[in-house]
Amino acid sequence: MKTGRIDRPFLIALLILAGIGVIMVFSASMYSATISGEKGYTLFLKQLLFDFLGVLVMMVMSRIDYRTYKKYYIIAMVIAAFLLLIVLIPGIGVKVNDARRWLDLKVTTFQPSEFAKVAGILYFSTLISRNRNVIREPGPFFLYCMLPLGIICAITVVEPSLSATMAIAIGMCGVLYFAGVRLKIFLPYIGVGLAAFVALMIAEPWRLDRFNVFLGKSGYDYQITQSLLAIGTGGFWGKGLGNGKQKYSFLPELQNDFIFANIAEEFGFIGCLIVLGLFAFVIWRGFKIAQKSPDTFGYLYTSSVMMLLAFQVLVNIGVASAVIPVTGMALPFMSAGGSSVIILFAMMGPVLNISRSVDLSRNRL
């Protein structure tokens, strides 16, 4: 395996996204932090620390041969399942708005579903790269692929977190897609998944209400109304950094699920275009790295990580712009959150390591 230097354009684009994210988190949270009794820059400093730790983890992992992680594919899945289970235990899992999705680490909280995303991709990528027959025979495909996927998704749904469940499923199914799974063997499970999704929508009235609002059948969604107002009033150039109005308690979770609305309000169409361009470049560059990966594992892992990244970006922006029904999903590298940012950077570590063995350009660190 040729060992060169990491891909500079890919790394720089990631760092720019994270930098913009830190600035926008500060802008979005300074008022809410102040009225809650904290200093206006509290969340900004936390996000800066999380980004620093994430970049540190990414750079360390970028120096480790990516094939090393194949040794831990089963352990990663077991740990993911264990963490997802213990988060449901009262006293261990932190309950917020009737959902147990976080572990209390005293100094911060950790969301196990974030780790489950990368664990699932690592598991499938290793499994299939070692034995492609596992996706060709119905028995092994159910036992080694769909059963673990079903267990992880079922536990995550119980939290409840349908958005995290979808992200985990997209990441793992992405591996199957890039591995070339036959539709004939996979189609029945797609049907089961869609049926389960519909059942979950119907089972929880608030989910169904959100969908009905999206279809225009009942009432209106306050968050979406305020999000669209922020995007619309931002215009072409935006109101300028710190001059947005939604941060004054008009749009809840502005620094998290609706960070894109804050970008649109303060930096306008141009700002949105820059952010979308950066994400598009990172995803495109990631797929280029995947295509030139030295082996099947590198190709499957990197392609699926890029697919998951694209899914999260599309869902977050789609929600903020009322293109899809409201669901909670962070904008990668930009929304406030510790476990999300650190895990995202960690996922990019092996991608950067793979980039050391491919030649995409002369611009390398």
Residue 97 sits at φ, ψ, to 5 deg, of 55, 50
Q: How far is CA 347 from CA 148, 179, 183, 286, in A?
A: 20, 19, 28, 12
Look at residue 98 in the predicted model and tell me its pLDDT: 67
Is residue 82 predicted with pLDDT exceeding 50?
A: yes
How many angstroms from the chain centroid is the CA of residue 332?
5
Q: How far apart are CA 271 and CA 243, in angstroms?
A: 14
Q: How far apart are CA 80 and CA 52, in angstroms?
A: 24
172 — pLDDT class (breaks 50, 70, 90) = very high
Residue 165 placed within a domain:
yes
Tell me the pLDDT tens digit for each residue of 31-74: 776 776 666 677 889 999 999 999 999 999 999 999 999 999 99
2 — pLDDT class (breaks 50, 70, 90) = low
How many structural domains comprise the chain? 1
pLDDT above 90 as % of the chain: 59
Look at residue 363 in the predicted model and tell me its pLDDT: 44
Higher pLDDT, 360 or 309: 309
Tell me the pLDDT tens digit for each residue of 233-277: 989 999 998 888 888 878 877 888 899 999 999 999 999 999 999
Is residue 125 predicted with pLDDT exceeding 70?
A: yes
Q: Which two tokens stand for residue 1?
A: 């395996």
Higher pLDDT, 218 or 243: 243
Residue 101 placed within a domain:
yes
SS3 170: helix
Q: Which two tokens stand for residue 214?
A: 């999206």
Look at residue 324 in the predicted model and tell me its pLDDT: 84
Q: How far apart are CA 164 and CA 304, in angstroms?
A: 16
Q: Which two tokens stand for residue 125?
A: 């990528």
Tell me the pLDDT tens digit for each residue of 317-339: 999 988 888 787 899 999 988 88
Residue 132 placed within a domain:
yes
List the helix and strand counts (H, then E) for the chain: 13, 3
359 — pLDDT class (breaks 50, 70, 90) = confident
Mean pLDDT estimate for the chain: 88
Q: How far apart are CA 296 and CA 126, in angstroms?
A: 9
Tell me the pLDDT tens digit for each residue of 343-353: 999 999 999 99
CB 53 within 8 A of CB 280: no
Q: How far apart are CA 97 and CA 225, in angstroms?
A: 21
365 — pLDDT class (breaks 50, 70, 90) = very low
Among 38-47, 141-150, 307-316, name the one with the lowest average pLDDT. 38-47
Look at residue 123 in the predicted model and tell me its pLDDT: 97
179: number of Cβ within 10 Å = 21
Provide the pairing of β-strand 93-96 with 109-110.
Answer: unpaired
Residue 322 sits at φ, ψ, to 5 deg, of 65, 30
Q: DSSP per residue over 61-91, as a string? A: HHTS-GGGGGGGHHHHHHHHHHHHHHTTSBT
Nearest to 271 by CA among 243, 294, 290, 293: 243
Residues 38-61 as b/e (b if ≥16 CB within 10 A, e otherwise) read eeeebbbebbbebbeebbebbeeb
Residue 209 placed within a domain:
yes
Task: Please name the amino acid found at residue 356.
Answer: R
pLDDT above 70 as % of the chain: 92
Look at residue 364 in the predicted model and tell me its pLDDT: 42
92: number of Cβ within 10 Å = 12
Look at residue 256 in the predicted model and tell me its pLDDT: 85
Look at residue 361 in the predicted model and tell me its pLDDT: 62
Residue 361 placed within a domain:
no
Task: Please name the amino acid found at residue 280.
Answer: A
Q: Find the domain containing 282 and state its range.
A: 8-355
139 — pLDDT class (breaks 50, 70, 90) = very high
Among 96-110, 157-171, 296-310, 333-347, name the one with the lowest average pLDDT. 96-110
SS3 270: helix
Among 23-32, 132-141, 148-157, name the one with the lowest average pLDDT. 23-32
Residue 363 placed within a domain:
no
Residue 128 placed within a domain:
yes
Q: How far apart are CA 200 and CA 64, in angstroms?
A: 41
Nearest to 192 by CA among 143, 154, 164: 154
Residue 96 sits at φ, ψ, to 5 deg, of -135, 125
Residue 232 placed within a domain:
yes
CB 26 within 8 A of CB 44: yes
Look at residue 292 in the predicted model and tell me its pLDDT: 93
Higher pLDDT, 363 or 319: 319
CA within 13 Å, CB half, 112: 30
Nearest to 73 by CA among 170, 145, 180: 145
